[in-house]
Amino acid sequence: MIREIVKDKILLSQKSIDAAYEDKSIAQDLLDTLNAHQEHCVGMAANMIGELKNIIVITDQGSPIIMYNPQIIKTTGKPYTAQEGCLSHQGTKEALRYPKIKVAYLDHDFKKKIKTFSDYTAQIIQHEMDHCNGILI
């Protein structure tokens, strides 16, 4: 189900809690909402649809990836400053990003995955994980 994008700074600044298997419907709503905004959106976190769960959905080379409880376990490279936009606010904001990250997460079947992402995909993941941590982007 396509959900409305949350713009309430109070809700968006709250830290999310870990997701459980029972939260799969939230991930599906997140994926549906991302698909509805695909012309100008490449990732979303669950709090952007009003759910304080550690769930993100990103687009990697045109394919969606659902991540439950993602954690960055390693960063590589010199951090850089990026200008990022977000559906939850107007304009862009500066954010410090690493060019390469290794992420541990649970996939759509709740199987543990560890994968390295780089460049723009790494930036998207870091942006969405900031949302889960209550950092306003």
Q: Which residues are catalytically annotated? A: 128
Q: Are 81 and 94 in contact (CB under 8 A)?
A: yes
Residues 37 and 64: beta-carbon distance below 8 Å? no
List Cα–Cα distances, 83 to 50, 69, 120, 137, in angstroms.
Answer: 25, 25, 12, 10
Closest CA to 101 of 84, 124, 117, 119: 117
Q: Encoding tokens for residue 78?
A: 């010199």
